[in-house]
Amino acid sequence: MRNVYKILAIAVFFIMGTVAAQAQCSDKTIKKATKDALGTYIFESAAFKPLSSFANAKGRVEAAFSVYSQESYRVANLCQSFTEQPEFEVFDTEKNLLFSSAKEKGKATYDFIAQKSGDYTIQFKVAAVDTKNDGACVAFAIGYK
């Protein structure tokens, strides 16, 4: 009888561990986070992957997205389950830094009007404490007006 409870407890532990790691990058979690973060902006696109899938990230994860001139955009940091929320930066087509969450009290969204059409870059800086965090999910969404 006692053995059975032990087995169940161990199984639950394994399962919950697996589930917790997957849940953070689940469609459902990302969808809800996207809707909340974009607010009145219209959905453009989203991207999400577990931190553990970035084998060579070395503490930085980068993504690019296209913008059209004079269009209004919102970029939202949707990273999930980090011990410390990654620093989130946005660069313009010439790689000029436009936004850093570190300078904006950890703000998770950045709104802007693109001055010219081209590719913008998002960069996430992952804190050392999280580099081996298998449950963390790197995610962002883009909206437009």
Partner 1 sequence: MALHVLVHVCKFILNARTVYISLLPPHYPAFTMLKRYASLSSIFYVAALSALLAGCSGSKTEQGQAGDTLSIEAPTTDSLAAPEDQTQDFIQSLPSPIHVARIFNRAGLRYVAGLTNTSKDAGKYQSATAKALNLGIYTTDLAYSTFNNQNQAAVDYFKAVQKMGEGLDMASMFESTNLVPRFERNLGNKDSLLYLMSQLSLESDILLKGSKRMDVVALSFAGAWTESMYLTTSLLTENKNLELYNRVQDQQLTLPKLIALLESQNQPEATPALDGLKEVKSKLDRVVANSASISSTEYVELMSSIKALREKIIKTV
Count of all residues that appear for the chain in the document: 145
Q: 38-67: which residues touch partner 1 (CB under 8 A)?
A: 42-50, 52-55, 57, 61-66
Which residue number, 105 or 142, has a Cβ lying nearer to partner 1?
142
* In the complex, least distance from residue 96 CB atom to partner 1, rounded to whole angstroms: 18
Q: Which of 27, 18, 130 is nearest to 78 (CA)?
A: 27
* In the complex, least distance from residue 105 CB atom to partner 1, rounded to whole angstroms: 26
> Is the Cα torsion angle 47, 51, 57, 60 positive or negative in sign?
positive
d(CA 47, CA 76): 11
d(CA 62, CA 84): 18
Give, in order, the Cα–Cα distances in Å from 81 to each of 22, 72, 130. Answer: 11, 29, 9
Asked if 15 interacts with partner 1 (CB under 8 A), we say yes
Asked if 119 interacts with partner 1 (CB under 8 A), we say yes
Which residue number, 105 or 132, has a Cβ lying nearer to partner 1?
132
Number of residues that bind partner 1 (CB under 8 A): 53
d(CA 47, CA 13): 29
**Residues forming the site for partner 1 (CB under 8 A):** 1, 3-8, 10-12, 14-15, 18-19, 22-23, 25-28, 30-31, 34-35, 42-50, 52-55, 57, 61-66, 68-69, 71, 117-119, 138, 142, 144
